[in-house]
Structure 1
Amino acid sequence: MSKILFDHQIFSLQVYGGISRYFANIQQALEKEDDCSGRISVLYSKNYYIKNYQAPFQNSLGERLFSSQEKEYKWNKKYSKYLIGKNNFDVLHPTYYEPYFLKKLKKPYIITVHDMIHELMPDSFSSNDITSVQKKEVIANAAKIITISETTKNDLKNIFDVEDHRIEVIYHGYQQKEQKFHSSQDSLQKDKYLLFVGARSGYKNFNRFVNAIAAFLKHKGNINLICAGGGTFQKEETKLFKKLEIEKYVTQLSASDQQLDALYANALAFIFPSIYEGFGLPILEAFQNRCPVALSSSACFKEIADDAAEYFDPMDEHSILTSVMKIIESQENTSSLVEKGIKRLENFTPQACFDKTIALYKKIS
């Protein structure tokens, strides 16, 4: 029996988020294995994806004791150190890059590198952000490194000079769901809005995207932009909307997974203008919900979507708008993109992700 220990980091930092969902899904897959088990070293976590995990204080007492994220992180870190010191596992899989575990660790560990954004786009982060420094140290000592795309693997090799044989590319898996809805009967009709999902700052390229479509929104008058997640609009964003005279066309919504599925299913198009990403899970979410996509022409997005998207130069506002218009103006093109998207999902099954990851655990345990 191979015992895998996941540390606390991402589960102490995120309530929702792609990285914590990735690790939660792997841990849950391990529960179904006969010869491999997984444990998460948290005393208590507010993370949505492990809400049913039987942590020692995953109850009302824990909610009171660890009321702030600072307390939650501090005590979960102490607990992680304690379990690592006990040495009752075969492989450690840290969930983020803080190297606190290196001095006590006696067993091999695997690290997953989701992207190289901190290294490629440092201006998007504060000057005292130490993520890149920590990442480099953790990568240097790892038995194996998982990257979630060939693009991230190549970036990792180029930036940190990591040997090819130490890296395993394992794509994220996307769990397809039974469709229970399509066009809604309320204000979110399929010809009414474009969809943007997630964070909007820095490399996400949101402001340039908004500038690109502003005149189009005003001209049409009956098409809106919905931003799902990413927090409420900042003052700078509302100033931009006012300057462009599109305040009434732009809305921000916090959405559950089910609500997000409905937003994709009823959107005119999903737009992903990021200058760089390590994977792009929202692309698969859009494919699942039969939503046509317009994407930045980054290497990663082309790797994931192949011919199932309209592509644009993320630095060129005219190019962005042209791609959006190609979807809006041609039902034939839209239908073709949707069908190609459904086909692309076959390349990103959760079981393939789990099988390859678990095989790697067994290989080094």
Structure 2
Amino acid sequence: MKVLYDHQSFTGVPYGGVSRYFFELMRSFAKRTDIEFELSLRLSNNEYLDQASFSRHLRYRSLAQVRNVHRVASVLNRLYSLRRVKAGKYDIFHPTYYHRYFLDALGNKPFVISFHDATSERYGKLYPEVGEGLYDLKKVLLRRADCIIAVSEFSKQEILRYFTVEPDKIKVIHLGTTLGDYASASEYTTPPLQAPYLLYVGKRGLYKNFTGFFRAIQPVLQRYPDVHLICAGGGAFSKDEQTLFHSARLANRVHYRPASDASLLALYKHARAFVFPSLNEGFGIPVLEAYSGGCATVLSNRSSLPEVAADAALYFDPEDDESMAEAIERIITDDALCADLSLKGIERLKNFSCDKTACQTLEVYQSLH
């Protein structure tokens, strides 16, 4: 059996949860003999693919800052993918995002689509940046797809809430993480900060709710002057964020760190706790990453997070400042709770792996072949 993946999630951005998902899927399949695959990609600066022997794309790092270069790369990639779709040398097509360019060229070949979250449906009007215009594209693709992979039961329910789809067409397949593979890296053993710290990971805008979280924990940080906050990834602090930290008189205790896989694992390993105040997650990979580092987790009680973490987390209401502050104070002051959540997280992680995700995805492909 041969599967064709397209360029979409690997064009324009070096990192991202969706491209990581497809990269890990292909990396797992590359170890197997019962499946072949092709990634139709010509131009990409995706960092994950640097490690991959299965992609022969060209990088354009030196041109990345040139205006419109990503748009040109996207058009060229789409033309190449369309050619590969029309060539028909595959059994299953699995596009990596929601463009419909391939529909007329697909013929009677089955295709599978992965649905990560309904952020654009839930928050599109409030935050147009998350892709308000995606709804119509998703509607067409979900209707035409032979199978829909939802990354959580929560995501499946979101599909049924916003789209007219037969429930039987949706297969829930949880995700995994390979962050623990970096356990032997040298950065892992060196604490990134000598003081105790809370860890926030990823983007901070919009529904990620970082500003609300920071507002809620200010009084807690004032009461515990030795506790710091590290924000990993998501881009350097904006001027507005720096102003926020200064006005709270906490600028010297809030730190930004870029995040490679090895350095991220070290951050989880040495943190007092990982905090995830997001209002909406289709799955929540950072939860599994935290477990890989033996890190206690303090999570929003919304969306997929309770499904993924089960009893291996302390929860709060992300829209209630008092609830957030209380949870953070508990994790700062209760050593036994921290140790218990760390052990529960390590145990919970055994339910998830990238190879398990790939195995269940292969079963979906085989059911359509």
The alignment's TM-score, normalised by the length of structure 2, stands at: 0.92
Deviation at 1:235, TM superposition (A): 2.4
Deviation at 1:65, TM superposition (A): 8.2
Q: 1:330 to 1:73 in 2, by over 3 A?
A: same
| Equivalent runs, 1:1-365 vs 2, <5 Å | 2-51=1-50, 52-53=52-53, 55-58=55-58, 68-106=69-107, 107-122=109-124, 123-126=126-129, 129-175=132-178, 176-177=180-181, 179-180=183-184, 185=190, 188-189=193-194, 191-365=195-369
User: Identity over the aligned pairs, expressed in percent?
Assistant: 36
Find the aligned partners of 2:187 and 2:193 in 1 and give their Cα distance: 11
State the SS of the aligned residue for 2:218.
Answer: helix
Deviation at 1:245, TM superposition (A): 2.1
State the SS of the aligned residue for 2:141.
Answer: helix
**2:91 counterpart letter in structure 1:** D
State the SS of the aligned residue for 1:335.
Answer: helix
Q: Deviations over 1:269-298 (max 9, x none)?
A: 110000111000000110110111100011
Q: How many residue pairs align between the two structures?
A: 361
Find the aligned partners of 2:168 and 2:240 in 1 and give their Cα distance: 45
Find the aligned partners of 1:148 and 1:128 in 2 and give their Cα distance: 19
Higher mean C-alpha deviation, range 122-131 or range 304-313 = 122-131
Find the aligned partners of 2:253 and 2:335 in 1 and give their Cα distance: 23
Q: Which runs of 5+ in 2 are unaligned?
A: none
**1:188 counterpart letter in structure 2:** L
Find the aligned partners of 1:304 and 1:44 in 2 and give their Cα distance: 35
Find the aligned partners of 1:154 and 1:70 in 2 and give their Cα distance: 34
Deviation at 1:24, TM superposition (A): 1.1
**1:97 counterpart letter in structure 2:** Y
Deviation at 1:44, TM superposition (A): 2.4
Deviation at 1:90, TM superposition (A): 1.0
Q: Deviations over 1:307-343 (max 9, x none)?
A: 1111000001111011111111111111111111011
Find the aligned partners of 1:275 and 1:31 in 2 and give their Cα distance: 35
Deviation at 1:246, TM superposition (A): 1.7
Find the aligned partners of 1:186 and 1:280 in 2 and give their Cα distance: 25
Higher mean C-alpha deviation, range 178-187 or range 30-39 = 178-187
